[in-house]
A and B are shown apart, each in its own frame.
Chain A
Amino acid sequence: MGRRRGASLQRRLFLGALVFVTLALVVAGLAIGLVLYRFARGQIDARLDGEIFAISADLKTGKDGPVLSYAHDGPPFDRPRSGWYWQVRTGEGILRSPSLGEAELTVPRGPEREDGRPAPADGTGPRGEGLILRVLRLAGPRDAPETVIVAAAPAATLHGPLREAGKTLTLALGLLGICLLAGIAVQVRLGLRPLDTLRRELAAVRAGQRDRVPEEQPQEIRPLVTELNLLLDQNAANLERARAHAANLAHGLKTPLATLAMAAERSAEPGLAPLVAAMDRQVRHHLRRARAAALGGPSRARADLAGQTRDLAAALARLHAERGLAIETEIAPGTSVACDAQDLDEMLGNLIDNACRWARSRVRIGAARSGALIELRVEDDGPGLSTDQVAHVLQRGRRLDESVPGDGFGLPITLELAELYGGDLSLERSDLGGLLARLRLPV
C-alpha cells in the first residue's frame, strides 16, 4: 500500500511536469512559427509591392489600355511559368509579365485599402499553383475604368522555407522538451530520495537495528521524523507502563495467594489446596498473556544473545544447584537478535529451565545463524518426548507431568513469543538422548 502510493507520487509529479512542458513548448512553437511566417511573408510582400510601385510609377494610359515605357521583365518575372507574375488591367486593356504568357490572373474582389497601398490576396496561377497576390486598385479619372495592378509570387516560396524552418523548430523544441523532462525526472527522483531513505531507516527501527529515526533530515521531512520519534517514544513508554502494571498486579495478587496457599496446606480441608493451585495457574497464565499482549508486535530493541544466555545459564545452574548439572554454552560472543531483552530472557529461561528439569546430567546450548534467522539449540540428556507428546506440550496451559514442578506454560509461551517476533520453536530428539528445542529468532 505505502509502496504503491510512493510510486504514484513520483508519477504524479512527473505527469504534471509533462503536461505543462508539452503545453509550453507547443505554444512557443506556434508563436515562433507565426513570427517566422510574418517575417517571410513581409519579405515577399515587400518585393511584390516594389514591383507594383515600379509599374504604377511607369504606367500611362494609352488608347487601347495601359502602356508601360519599358518591359519590367527583370528576373524572375521573365521566366515563363516561374510563378512570379504581374498583370495590369484597365478596363479591357491588359499588360502581363513575360512569365505569365497568355494566361490571365483572376483577381478576387476584396476590400479596398484606403491608404493607396497594395492589399494581400490569394490566387491560383496558370499551372494551378498557389499564389500569393498583392493587388493595387487605382481609380481612373472620372468615368474611366479603374486600373488593377496585381503582382504574384508562388506560395511555395513562402511555404517551402517555412516548412523547413518548422521542421528544424519542431526538432529543436522536441529536444528541449526531452531534456526538460529528463531533468524533471532526475529532480523528482532526487527530491523523493529522502523519503526512500526514511523508509529504510524506519524499517531498521522496526527490525530493531536502531532505536529512533535520525533527526538529520531535509527541512521538509524533519517535522515528520520528529513526530515519528515522539510516537516511538510514546509507544515505548506505554509498553513500559503496561509491563509495570502487569508486574504490580503480579506482586499484588501473588503475595496473598502465597499466604492462602500456606494456610490451605495447614488446613484440614482437602479441596482447598488444589483450588489454590488452580487460582495460581490462572493468575500466572493471564499475567503472562497480559505481558505478551503489552508487547504489541515486534519491538525495535536488540538483545545480546550470548551474554543473556550466559547469565541465564549461571542463574539456572544455581536454581538447580542440587542436581549438579553440567550446562555447556557455546555461543559466539557478540551474537545478538532483534528482540526485546526481557522477552528473550523469557524464551531462553523457559527453554533452559525445561531442559534442566528433565536432564540427567547435561544441558547443551548452542547457536548458529541460518539466513535471516539465528537458531538457538537447547538440548538435554533426559527422557525426551514422543511426537504426540510434543504436540501436547506446546498446547497452551498444558503440562506433561504434573509431579515435576513448573507451571506448564513455559513452552507454549515461548512459542507464542517467538512467533510474535517472526521466529518459531520446534521440538525434536537430541543426540544426547533427550529433547532438542530449536528456537529461531530474526537477526
Chain B
Amino acid sequence: MKLLLAEDDAALAAELLRALRAEHFAVDHAVNGEDARHLGETEHYDAVILDLGLPVVDGVTVLRDWRTAGLTLPVLILTARDGWSDKVAGFKAGADDYLVKPFRVEELVIRLRALVRRASANGATRITCGPLVYDSGLGSFERDGLPLRLTGLEWRVLSCLILRKDVVVPRDQLIERVYDGDAEVDSNSVEVIITRLRRKIAPARIESVRGHGWRLHAEPDA
C-alpha cells in the first residue's frame, strides 16, 4: 500500500516515515502544499496523510483542489488544530478522516488501513480469499488460520492484490503502490516478489495476465 505524507515539519516527517515504513507502507513525502497537490494529481496513492498548516498552499486548499478535480483518493487530515470547527471544515473540504497531533502511531495506522479498505469498497474488516485472510484492522495476513510471515515489499504487493481480489491489477499500478517515490525500481524485482509470494500463499494463486498485470485467485486452476 502506498501513502502520500504531506508534512512540513522535518522531525515529525522523519518519525512518521520510519513508523509507517515499519508497518510495511510505501510512503512518498511532500514538504509543501504545491508538491503535495502535484503528487496527488499525478501518482496513485492508497491514502494521503495531509497536514493542514502546509507552506506555499495550505492543506485545505490542496484537498479542495483534489476534490474539485474529481480525485477520490482517501485523505486523512493530521493536524494540530483540534477545534471541532476545524474538524467540520476539514470534512466539508472532502477529508475522510481526521487525527489531531499528538497522536498514537497505532491509531494512525489503524485509521489508515480502515480508510484504504473502505475506499476499496470492502465493507468487512477481514477479507478472505480461499485459505488466505487479510485483517485490515491489524494489517496482518493468515493462511489456514496461521499468521503469514511476509517482508515489507511482499506485504505491499499482497495487500494491494487482496483488496482487488479477482480483478486484474495492472503492472504499473502495482509497481507504483509498492515502491517509494524515490526508490530505484528494478523491473524484475516485482516478478521476484510475486514468485516468493506464490510459494507462501498456495493453494491461493497469483495469475499472470500477459502484457497486463496480476490477479489474485481463491481457487487453483482446474
Interface: A370 (CB within 8 A): no
Contact, CB under 8 Å: B15 / A257: no
Across the interface, do A321 and B118 meet the contact criterion of CB distance under 8 Å?
A: yes
Residue of B9, B84, B101, B125 ringed by the most chain A CB atoms within 10 A: B84
A321–B95 alpha-carbon span in the complex (Å): 13
Within 8 Å CB of B82, what residues of A? 250, 254, 284
Q: Which residues of B contact A255 (CB under 8 A)?
A: 9, 12, 80, 101
Select B19's contact among A251, A257, A262, beta carbons within 8 Å.
Answer: A262
Distance to closest chain B CB from A56 (angstroms): 112
Whole-angstrom CA separation of A319 from B103 in the bound complex? 14
> How close is A277's CB to chain B, nearest CB, in angstroms?
9
A160 within 8 A of B: no
Q: How far is the CA of A260 from the CA of B12 in the complex (A)?
A: 8
Contact status B101-A254, CB under 8 Å: yes
Q: Are B91 and A314 in contact (CB under 8 A)?
A: yes
Chain A's nearest CB lies how many Å from the CB of B83?
A: 6
B83-A259 in contact (CB<8A): no
Structural contact, B91 and A346, CB atoms closer than 8 A: no
Distance between Cα atoms of A404 and B160 in the complex (Å): 32
**Residues A315 and B80 in contact in the complex (CB < 8 Å), given A254-B102, A321-B97:** no
In the complex with contacts A262-B19, A314-B91, A321-B118, A342-B98 CB distance below 8 A:
no
Picked from A247, A276, A314, the residue with its CB within 8 Å of the CB of B102 is A276
Smallest CB gap from A287: residue in B: B82
**Residue among A247, A253, A260, A322 making CB contact with B81, cutoff 8 Å:** A247
How many A-B pairs have beta carbons closer than 8 Å: the answer is 98
Main SS at interface, chain A: helix
A263 surroundings in chain B (CB, below 8 A) = 15
Report chain B residues within 8 Å CB of A260.
102
**Residue A122 at the chain B interface, CB threshold 8 Å:** no
* Known A-B contacts A251-B53, A259-B15; A321 and B87 likewise in contact (beta carbons under 8 Å): no
Q: Is the CB of B114 within 8 A of A315?
A: no
Of B16, B95, B97, B98, the residue contacting A262 (CB under 8 A) is: B16
- Would A318 and B105 be within 8 Å (CB), given that A250-B82, A255-B9, A342-B83 are in contact? no
Q: How far is the CB of B27 from chain A (nearest CB, A)?
A: 14
- A328 lies within 8 A of chain B by Cβ: no
A279–B19 Cα gap in the complex (Å)? 22
Q: Does B96 lie at the interface of the complex (its beta carbon under 8 Å from any beta carbon of A)?
A: yes
Residue B85 interfacial (CB < 8 Å): yes
Counting chain A residues whose Cβ lies within 8 A of the other chain, the interface size class is 35 or more
How far, in angstroms, from A354 to B100 measured CA to CA in the complex? Answer: 16
- Residue in contact with A345 in the complex, picked from B9, B83, B101, CB distance below 8 Å: B83
Collect the chain A residues with CB atoms within 8 Å of residue B114's CB.
321-322
**How far, in angstroms, from A405 to B110 measured CA to CA in the complex?**
14
The smallest beta-carbon distance between A308 and chain B, in angstroms, is 8
Identify which of B79, B84, B97 contacts A318 (C-beta below 8 A): B97
Contacting pair A261 B102 (CB below 8 A): yes
Q: A251-B53, A322-B114 are in contact. Are A311 and B92 (CB under 8 A)?
A: yes
Whole-angstrom distance between the alpha carbons of A135 and B175 in the complex?
144
Known A251-B80, A262-B15, A312-B84; contact A405-B101, beta-carbon cutoff 8 A: no
Partner of B85, one of A265, A318, A342, A353: A342
Whether B104 sits at the interface, judged by CB under 8 Å, is yes
Contact across chains for A319 and B98 when beta carbons are under 8 A apart: yes
A250-B105 contact, Cβ under 8 Å, with A255-B12, A342-B85: no
Query: Which A284-327 residues have C-beta < 8 A from chain B?
Result: 284, 291, 308, 311-312, 314-315, 318-319, 321-322
Q: Is there contact, CB below 8 Å, between B104 and A265?
A: yes
The answer, yes or no, to whether A88 is at the interface (CB within 8 Å) is no
**Given A255-B101, A262-B16, A342-B85; 16 other pairs, CB 8 A cutoff:** A247-B81, A251-B79, A251-B81, A257-B101, A258-B101, A258-B102, A259-B9, A259-B15, A260-B102, A262-B19, A311-B91, A315-B91, A315-B98, A318-B96, A319-B98, A345-B84
Task: Identify the B interface with A (CB < 8 A).
Answer: 9, 11-12, 15-16, 18-19, 53, 79-85, 87-88, 90-92, 95-98, 100-105, 107, 114, 118, 125, 137
7 A-B pairs (CB sep. < 8 Å): A250-B81, A250-B82, A253-B80, A260-B102, A321-B97, A345-B85, A353-B84
